[in-house]
Amino acid sequence: MRRIDCHMHLWTLAMEPYYSLWMTPELEVLYRDYSVGDALPLMAKNDVEGVVLVSAANSVHETAYLMGLADGHDFVRGVVAWIDLLAPTAAADLQAWARFRKLKSIRPYLQDLPEDDWILKPELDPAIRAIIDLGLRFDALIKPRHILNTVRFIERYPDLPVIVDHMAKPEIANGGLAAWRRDMEHFRDLRHVHCKISGILTEDGPDWTAERVRPYIETVLDIFGPDRLVFGSDWPVVNLVADYSRWIETVADAIRTLPGADQQKIWATNGERFYGL
């Protein structure tokens, strides 16, 4: 089964100030460089033939860094970047960055913003219109408290392709299944919205179990179906509680009862289609 990892990070501590939202020395396993040389052996071991690199900083300096990696390595199929969507020059900035053919999507740090309804700001409209006009996509990095506002945003821009990162980070460790599932149901009939099976082991914590995680994956399988789900590793963040291979094994086990063609959609072809890889 061939795989495309649609959510991988690479970073260097030379750019540490730009990771200030979350990077600290206390995150020992993450507080180091993660490079192409680290990623390639893991990809080869797990039949991952390409990746989408995703921003880890709210800085165009990191956007430029990721674009450089993408231009220099064929296995990087696309980039999800950060752009200041409230800047007066946002539409022009997006047009300039879109000259990089591997720029595929824009991702603001919604999960870390103090306003849960930030995404509904009318001042964002020029940038969102530019994203649509340029044929780009929108990665929604959200938590459960943002789901309903994200749905309102999506309904406002029905032509904007949107993907929900990390299944909206359900509060697995706190038994948050019922409330999260209730709100995620709003995505069922939004047929252009996709969802990444990624980034949820850290929401269960270091003592995570496949049994606790599986109902959440089964829920997105029910809501989105096999045509709108995309695989991502969230590596190296996953290393906080597991590793690359263990996450892939967990996903493989959770979707093993699907027909092979549907499994292949989740592992690769849905991501290729959504991001235009």
Q: Give the residue extent of every domain in the chain.
A: 3-275
pLDDT score of 21: 75
Peptide bond into 236 cis (omega under 30): yes
Going through the chain in order, the beta strands assigned E by DSSP cover 3-8, 48-54, 76-81, 103-106, 137-140, 162-164, 193-197, 229-231
> Model confidence over 14-48: pLDDT tens digits?
888 888 878 888 889 999 999 999 999 999 999 99
* pLDDT, mean of residues 182-187: 98
Identify the band that residue 128 occupies on the pLDDT scale cut at 50, 70 and 90: very high
pLDDT score of 154: 97
* CATH entry, 3-275, from 3.20.20.140, 3.30.70.360, 3.30.830.10, 3.30.465.10: 3.20.20.140
Nearest 10 degrees: Cα torsion 55, 221, 152, 169? -50
* pTM score: 0.95
Residue-averaged pLDDT of the chain = 96
Q: What are phi and psi of 53, to 5 degrees?
A: -85, 135
**What is the distance between the terminal CA atoms of the chain, rounded to a whole angstrom?**
18
Best CA proximity match to 80, nearest among 168, 9, 151: 9
Choose between 202 and 27: higher pLDDT: 202
Rounded to whole angstroms, how far apart are CA atoms 255 and 262? 9
pLDDT score of 27: 87
Region of residue 167 (phi > 0: left; psi between -120 and 50: alpha; otherwise: beta): left
Rounded to whole angstroms, how far apart are CA atoms 101 and 71? 9
